[in-house]
């Protein structure tokens, strides 16, 4: 995990949502509090979030977008090819970075080690320093509260921000809805 951020994604019944905080730190200093660490890809049909270096994030997002284009938006084929390329590239594989990508059918965590992890429940994934706090909150809220997908992600990230010094309350979300 990284002392960098908190990203949480939830693939619910009606919506797929990704959210992230806005804090950028360098050591024990806050450099920026309103960064955007999530984005839509492939004509707004894929959501992605990143934990790690911001400059590396832009490169990895662009690289993943190229795989999505090549595979005509097939997220499963794209994550496999992307992970192979990330793992084989001598520069990229040294990055200490992670990504979450999802659409309304799949959710994956991707790492520079070549890992492609689909969460056990197939619904909730988190990365970053506050990731364990956020996913714990999301699982509890899913079970015990009646929140829609976006509200669940936001509230879980706020709980993580209360606990993790590398996570703040400047929460942003992106949503894919059934059409």
For the annotated catalytic residues, the residue numbers are 5
Cβ burial, residue 16 (10 Å; 0-12/13-18/19+): buried
Contacts 24+ apart (CB under 8 A), 145-153: 148/12, 148/14, 148/15, 149/10, 149/12, 149/14, 149/15, 149/16, 149/17, 149/175, 150/15, 150/17, 150/19, 150/175, 152/10, 152/12, 152/17, 153/8, 153/9, 153/10, 153/17, 153/18, 153/19
Kind and range of the H or E element at 50? Answer: strand 46-51
Q: Which candidate, 135, 142, 134, 132, places its Cα nearest to that of 158?
A: 134
Kind and range of the H or E element at 57? Answer: helix 54-70
């Amino acid at each position: 995990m990284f002392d960098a951020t908190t990203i949480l994604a939830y693939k619910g019944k009606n919506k797929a949502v990704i959210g992230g905080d806005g804090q950028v730190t360098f050591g024990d200093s806050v450099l920026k509090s309103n960064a955007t660490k999530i984005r839509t890809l492939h004509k707004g049909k894929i959501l992605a979030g990143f934990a790690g270096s911001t400059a590396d994030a832009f490169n990895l997002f662009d690289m993943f977008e190229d795989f999505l284009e090549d595979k005509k938006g097939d997220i499963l084929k794209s994550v496999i090819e992307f992970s192979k390329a990330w793992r084989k590239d001598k520069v990229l594989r040294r990055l200490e970075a992670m990504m979450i990508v999802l659409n309304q059918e799949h959710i994956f965590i991707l790492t520079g080690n070549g890992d492609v992890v689909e969460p056990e429940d197939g619904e909730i994934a988190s990365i970053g320093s506050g990731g364990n706090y956020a996913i714990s909150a999301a699982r509890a809220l899913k079970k015990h509260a009646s929140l829609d997908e976006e509200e669940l992600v936001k509230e879980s990230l706020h709980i993580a921000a209360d606990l993790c010094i590398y996570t703040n309350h400047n929460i942003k979300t992106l949503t894919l809805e059934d059409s």
